[in-house]
Amino acid sequence: MTATAAPARRAHPSPVRKRAARVTRTGFVAALPFLAPALAAYAVFVVGPMVESIRLSFFEWSGFQGAPQEFVGIRNYVRIFTQDPVFWTAFSNTLVWVVLSLFIPLGLGLVMALALNRPLFGRNAFRSIFYIPGVLAPIAIANMWRWMYNPNYGVGQTLADLLNAPWLGEIQWLGDKNLALYSIFAAFVWQIAGTNMVLFLAGLQGVTPEHIEAAKLDGANAWQVFRNVTWPALRPTTVVVLVLTIINSIKVFDLIVGMTGGGPAQQTQVLALWSFQQSFGNHEYGMGNAIATVLLVVTLVIVVPYMVWTARQEKNS
Amino acid sequence: MSVVTVPVAPSAVRPSRRRPFGRQPRDWVRVGLWIALLVAVLIWAVPLIFMVFTSLKSEPDIFGTPAFVPPWNPEWGNYVEALDRGNLLTAGGNSLIIALVKVPLGLFLSAAAAFALSRLRFKRQRLLMGVIAMGAMVPIQVAIAPLFQVINGLGLLSTHIGVILPYLAFGLPYQTFILYGFFRQIPEEIDESARMDGAGNWRLFLTIILPLAKPALAALFILDFVATWNEYSIGLALLQSQESWTIPLALQGFQSQFTSSYGPLNAFTIMSMLPVLIVYLMFQRYFVEGAFAGAVKG
C-alpha cells in the first residue's frame, strides 16, 4: 500500500513495479463495480424482506397498504405458540418431513447409486428414469400424484381390482387425515431420490477400482468393502446430500399446495405454507411473519454449523 | 472435498473391473440385480405412464377402464382442449420471456460478483461470501410477504420485471457460491501474466476468466433455466392477473378450475413439462456436472 510513496521505486525492475501498482488498485473500490449489482439485488429483494419480516412479526397488520401497523411486542409469538392449534401441527409436520427425508430418499438414492455404479445393460436409461422426476416442476408432480391418488379412478382402485383386495380401493390417500402427509411425502421421495442418486454417483467416482480390488485381495467381502472403502470415501458427499435434503424439506410448499392445500383439517400444514396462508389468505401479516421468523431461526440453527464446518474444512485442506 | 475437484460425468467413467476368477456366480448376481432394477424402474415410471395414458383417453375410457390399460384409441382432443381452455400459450410465452431474461442476466451478475470475491483482494471477503451463500439456504417463504410489499410499492405486481428482479436476487447466492468455487481453482499465474500484459480487471474478467468458466456456466445455465421454469411460490405471491401467469401458475389454475376434466388436465401437465424434458434430454450431461458442482461446494 505504501509502494507509491517509496523513494526507491525507480530502482525496482519494471515488471515488479507494474504488479505493485496493480495491487494498489485492487481494493474494495476496484471490486465494487463487479459486486454492486448483485449486492444491490440481494440487499433489496432478499435481505431487506427478511429483516422486514422480523420487524413485522412484532406488529399487527392486515397487509393492506395504508392500513395501520400496530406495535404489539411479542404478542404474535405468544399467539402462535399458545393459541394457534395449526402452528404446532405445521411445526411437527415440518419436523417429521425433515427426519423422514434424512432416511428414505437419502437411503434410496444411495442404493440406486451403488446399484448403477457398474456396467449394466441399459444403465443410462435406468439412471434417467430415476432422475427425471427431479427436473419436473413440483406443482406438476403434485397434479400427477393427486390424480394417482384419486379414490375412484386412481392407481389404488386398479391395484385393488388386480390383487382382489377391495380394502386397497377404499383408502383415502389424501383424504385421511392420518395418512395424507405420508402420501404427499411419497411424491417427495419420488421427486428427490434420483437427485440424491446423481450426487452419490458423483461421489462414488472418488472410489477407484484399485482401492476395491486391493481390499478384495486382502479378503474383504462385499459388506466389508462397502463399510471400509466406499462409505468413508462417500462421507463428504453424504454431508452435502444431508444438508441439501434438510434445506429442501424445510422449503416444501408446492407439493402440499398442489395436493391438499394443507388439508384435510389442516393436517398436512407445514411452516412454510402456514406462514404464507396467514399473511396472504387470512391477512394476519404479524402472525404470518412470526411463523416466517420461526422458520428462519430453524433454518439458521441447521445451516450455520454446517457453514462453519465447511469453512474449517477448507482451511484445513 | 479433495475427492471431487475436476467435474467428470459418471457415465464417462467406465472402470473395467474384471475378477480374475469366479465369473459364473457373479453373473447370476448381476442378472438378479438387473431384474430388481428393472422392477424398480417400472415402479418409478408408474406416475409418468399413468399420466400419459390418462391424457390420451376419452372421458368414458378414463372412468370405465382400469388405470393401466393403454389408450388403444388415443384421444388427442384432450390436448386441444387443454390448449384451448388453459391459457397455455400465454403462460408459456410469459415463462419463456422471464427465463430468457433472468437466466443469462443472473449468471452474468453472479459471475461478476464471484470474480470480485475470488480474484480481487479486499477486506472481509470471505465473510461477505458467507453472507451471500447463506441466502441460498434460507427458504424463500421466510421473505415472501415483505417481498410482496416491496414489489407492490414499486408498482410492479403482475409484470415480467416485477418477478424477474426477485428471481435474480434469489438465484444469485447459489450461483455466486458455485462460480466462486470454480474461479478459485483457476491458477493465480493466469491473472498475473494477464496483468503484466496490461489487462485491467474488466478485461481479465471478460476475456480470460469467463471463457475459462464455460463448463460451469453452461451447467448453471441449464439448471437455472429448469429452476426458473418450475418456480411457483414467488410467482403465486407476485403474479396476480391471469395474463401474467407463468406455466406453474397456469397449471394450478387449470387444476382448480377444471378439477374433474382428468384427460385435459393430464394433457396440460404433460405439455407444461415438455420444455424442461427437452432441455434435459439435450443437455443431460450438464445436469450431472451441475449437480456435481453443487456437490463439490455445497
> Can you give the three-state secondary structure of chain A, one letter per residue?
CCHHHCHHHHHCCHHHHHHHHHHHHCCHHHHHHHHHHHHHHHHHHHHHHHHHHHHHCCEECCCCCCCCCEECCCHHHHHHHHHCHHHHHHHHHHHHHHHHHHHHHHHHHHHHHHHCCCCCCCHHHHHHHHHHHHHCCHHHHHHHHHHHCCCCCCHHHHHHHHHCCHHHHCCCCCCCCCCHHHHHHHHHHHHHHHHHHHHHHHHHCCCCHHHHHHHHHCCCCHHHHHHHHHHHHHHHHHHHHHHHHHHHHHHCCHHHHHHCCCCCCCCCCCHHHHHHHHHHHCCCHHHHHHHHHHHHHHHHHHHHHHHHHHHHHHHHC
Angle subtended at Cα A152 by Cα A150 and Cα A157, rounded to the nearest 5 degrees: 90
Please give the pLDDT value at position B87. Answer: 84
Question: What cell does A281 get?
Answer: 389468505
pLDDT by residue, tens only, chain A of 317 residues: 333 433 444 444 444 444 444 444 557 888 999 999 999 999 999 999 999 999 999 999 988 888 888 899 899 999 999 999 899 999 999 999 999 999 999 999 999 999 998 888 888 899 999 999 999 999 999 999 999 999 888 888 888 888 888 888 888 999 999 999 999 999 999 999 999 999 899 888 878 888 888 888 888 888 888 888 888 888 888 888 888 899 899 999 999 999 999 989 999 999 999 999 999 999 999 999 999 999 999 998 888 888 888 778 777 76
Choose among A196, A34, A300, A31: nearest CA to B130: A300
| pLDDT tens, position by position, B129-165 | 988 988 888 888 899 999 999 999 999 999 999 999 9
Between CA A255 and CA A251 the distance in angstroms is: 10
**Could you tell me if B274 lies within 8 Å of chain A, comparing CB atoms?**
no
CB distance A250 to A213 below 8 Å: no
Query: A25-48 burial, b for 16+ CB within 10 Å, e for fewer?
Result: ebeeebbeebbebbbebbebbbbb
Selecting from A15, A237, A243 the residue whose C-beta is nearest the C-beta of B196 gives A15
Q: pLDDT (tens digit, 9 = 90+) per residue, B190-232? A: 888 898 888 889 999 999 999 998 888 988 998 899 999 999 9
Cell for A196?
A: 440424491
Contact B143 A46 (CB under 8 A): yes
Cβ pair B17:A258 closer than 8 A:
no
Over the stretch A219-251, which tens digit does the pLDDT of each residue have? 888 888 888 888 888 888 888 888 889 989 999
Query: Would you kindly state where each structural domain of chain A is located, as residue ranges?
Result: 48-83+284-317, 93-266
Q: What are the grid coordinates assigned to B55, written together?
A: 391424457
Is the same domain home to B98 and B147?
yes
Q: Which residue of B has its CA nearest to A52?
A: B146
pLDDT of residue B291: 57
CB contact under 8 A, B33 and A303: no
Residues 6+ apart with CB under 8 A from B218: B283, B286
Mark yes or no for CB contact B116/A213 under 8 Å: no
Residue B13 forms part of a structural domain? no
Last residue of a domain, one of B32, B47, B75: B75
* B66 in the same domain as B94: no
The type of residue at A88 is: W
Residues B179 and B292 both lie in one domain: yes
pLDDT in tens, A103-152: 999 999 999 999 998 888 888 899 999 999 999 999 999 999 999 999 88
Closest CA–CA distance from residue A77 to any residue of chain B (Å) = 15
Name every chain A residue with its beta carbon within 8 A of the beta carbon of B62.
Answer: 153
CA-based nearest residue to A99, from A289, A250, A221:
A250
B101 shares its domain with B244: yes
The CATH code belonging to domain A93-266 is 1.10.3720.10
Q: Is any Cβ of chain A less than 8 angstroms from the Cβ of B269?
A: yes
Interface test with B, best of A55, A132, A139 (most B CBs within 10 A): A139
B134 lies in some domain: yes
Distance CA A190, CA A108 (A): 10
Residue A249 CB partners (closer than 8 Å, separation 6+): A94, A97, A98, A101, A188
Instruction: Quote the CA–CA distance of B252 and B231 in Å, as a whole number.
Output: 12
Count of positions (residues) in chain A: 317
Residues of B numbered 27-56 whose beta carbons fall under 8 angstroms of chain A's beta carbons: which are they?
A: 30, 33-34, 36-37, 40-41, 44-48, 50-51, 54
Chain B 151-170, CB below 8 Å of chain A: which residues? 152-153, 165-166, 168-170
Alpha carbon distance, N-terminus to C-terminus of chain B: 10
Domain holding B222, by residue range, is 82-297
Q: Give the N- to C-terminal CA distance of chain A in Å, as an integer.
A: 30
CA-wise closest residue to A288 among B142, B27, B81? B142
**CA atoms of B150 and B162, how far apart (whole Å):** 10
Partnered with residue A59 across adjacent β-strands are A71
Is ipTM over 0.90? no
Instruction: For residue A124, give every residue at least 6 positions away whose Cβ sits within 8 Å of its Cβ, in sequence order, or none.
Output: B11
Residue type, B275: P
Q: What is the residue type of A304?
A: V
Is the CB of residue A1 less than 8 Å away from at least one CB of chain B? no
> Which one, of B32, B17, B45, B274, lies nearest residue A125 by Cα?
B45
Question: Per the omega criterion (within 30 degrees of 0), is the bond before A13 cis?
Answer: no
Chain centre distance of CA B297: 18
| Domain shared by B177 and B109, yes or no | yes
Residues B28 and B102 in one domain: no
Which of B14, B42, B75 is the last residue in one of the domains? B75
